[in-house]
Amino acid sequence: MAVRSAEAKWSGTLQEGKGNVKLESGAFEGAYSFSSRFEEGTGTNPEELLGAAHAACYSMALNAALGRADFTPEYVKTTAKVHMVKTDAGLTITKIDLITEAKIPDIDDATFQEHAEGAKTGCIISRALSAVEMSLEATLV
């Protein structure tokens, strides 16, 4: 199967330094800093990028599951909220909230919820992050 890569470079001290992250595909390149990670500064951060990857993976997994069940979604939109808190072990990602909405013709909510929950545990990124608590809020529109 495929091997995907991204790179990050950090220059300077932790608090005054700066970094740049880029994807091998060239689809994204952006700056990150102490401020963008631990405060409200401009730029991205690893947790935001992890959330983007998880939201994208989950949306695709749900779409695929629905397709296998002969449903054709008009769209699946997901937000992943990555919670990073200070614990005794240090800063830790303690929870990821997946919030998804989908527009799918001819499906009832119970069937949708079943597929949404299955995609949460079946998504590749969810499986990679299985040590982290995950919640799901799935809405059919």
Mean pLDDT per block of 10 residues along the chain (141 residues) reads 94 96 96 95 96 98 97 98 95 97 98 98 96 97 95
Contacts of residue 13, Cβ cutoff 8 Å, sequence gap at least 6: none
CA neighbours within 13 Å on the CB side: how many for 34? 7
With 0.85 as the threshold, say if the pTM is over it.
yes
- CA 95 to centroid of chain Cα atoms: 12
For residue 8, the model assigns a pLDDT of 97
What's the confidence (pLDDT) of residue 89? 93
- Three-state secondary-structure class, residue 44: strand
The predicted pLDDT at position 29 comes to: 96
Q: What is the per-residue pLDDT for 1?
A: 80
User: Token match 């952006």: residue?
Assistant: 30
Residues ≥6 apart with Cβ < 8 Å to 136: 97, 98, 99, 100, 116, 117, 120
Residue 35, C-beta contacts closer than 8 angstroms, at least 6 positions apart: 41, 42, 43
Residue 4 corresponds to which tokens in the numbers above? 């995907």
